[in-house]
Structure 1
Amino acid sequence: MSKPVFVLLHGAWHGPKCWDRLIVELEKAGYSASAPALPSSGSTPPVPDLKADIDIIRSMISKLAQERDIVVVMHSFSGLAGGTALEGLDKAACFSKGLKGGVVRLVYLAAFLAQEGSRLFPPGAEENMKSYIDMWRLTASYAKGMFYQDLDDHEVAELAKDLQTQSLGSFQSATTYAAWRYIPTTYVECTRDRPATLIGQRRLLETAKESGTHKIDRIIKVDSGHFPFISKPEWTAQVLIEEAGREVRVIAQR
């Protein structure tokens, strides 16, 4: 069987460039990866919700599923759009439509493991959200504490130059589907993430498992900050390849 392709979904304030180091490592191992630009980050004018992100994700994966199996990797905020966008794109559903591929595994990297109806902020929180977002967008020192905890200051300053604006409406948009209920799922917990975020990761896992049907079958811990694929690209690539390989072996045995 051919190797699955990785679809890499970036989080808030970032773009596809944040995946560059990881893509290099995946390609060294003979794997291909696609990293779409999600409109909730960097759009002018800003988008009102997550619909544009969801549409781009669905379009890319629907095309890939014509021929390829897919591992979807979500980082941070993209767990909301990614988890919603995959309805009907799992391997079994795609096979029933006569397609050769489909999504065989999800990997959440310190990402929002959101249940149906989840949103990051409630409607009416625009003013507080705006000041919060502007701090993240403009201040490299703030970005280090929030995003790049295990990187040196020089590297953080360079990474901060690529931070983008984030559409406020994307934080108020509610999810409608939870793909991790239906597709085998790996969660990567970053233990050097900021304390509140680490607590949030663990709480999301706990509540997801308690909420009913799920396919969360792997939890991996890594000694890294919020961006293991920047600080530890070789390690991240190895983990993704191992997770993809497990799915290929399972499918081959059926």
Structure 2
Amino acid sequence: MRAVLAAPTPTLLVIAKSPVPGRVKTRLTPPCTPEQAATLAGAALEDTLATLSRVPAGRRLLVLDGEPGGWLPPGWEVVPQCTGGLDERLAAAFARAARVAPRAPALLVGMDTPQLDAAALAEPLSAARRPGVDAWYGPAADGGFWALGLARPTGRLARRLLLGVPMSTPDTGRALLARLAAAGLTVHHLDLATDVDTIAAARRVAAEAPQTTFAACLRSIDAAPGTAG
């Protein structure tokens, strides 16, 4: 009898910057100081990594601009981001995933959604739900996207989908969806999520997920003397 190969477990990727004051979450300043913005960024990253640590995965890759710190949980491999625009760095991250786990699907998220739920990510990535799905797409409320997954990632496909897509605009998500459609991929849409880019967005996310480290960090900042509302 021919052996039946088990479906490969997904590779999970988080693309992030080290939470260094003045280099992360600059749109939170003001009202936050650069140090407070970096603290919030670090909390968001901690929550994101903790959530994805609870999602079944074969490999977990942190694609990092900067140096890892004490916030890095066990089980994560740190790989450096390449140079270039965000479109190039995202494509390179998928190419890296394809090299380390050639048969496995790959899902990439950013560090801006600390409210993510592990079960909500694990279910669409499960072996039972993957047949017939070529890609996963997580829309962001600002018109971008918070997640992109490929069932059969290759460097060539990632470059075809991502290079030249305008990043950080209200049309980013629409442009990426058009690329996915043009490639003939069947897309599973994940839930809409809010990226933490502004203080208003940070407050919405903290209210949505008050149990997170991010929400506790924001409450602490709000309680600090002299903090602007």
Check whether TM > 0.5: no
- Pick the structure with more helix per residue: 1
Band the TM-score falls in, shorter-chain normalisation = 0.3 to 0.5
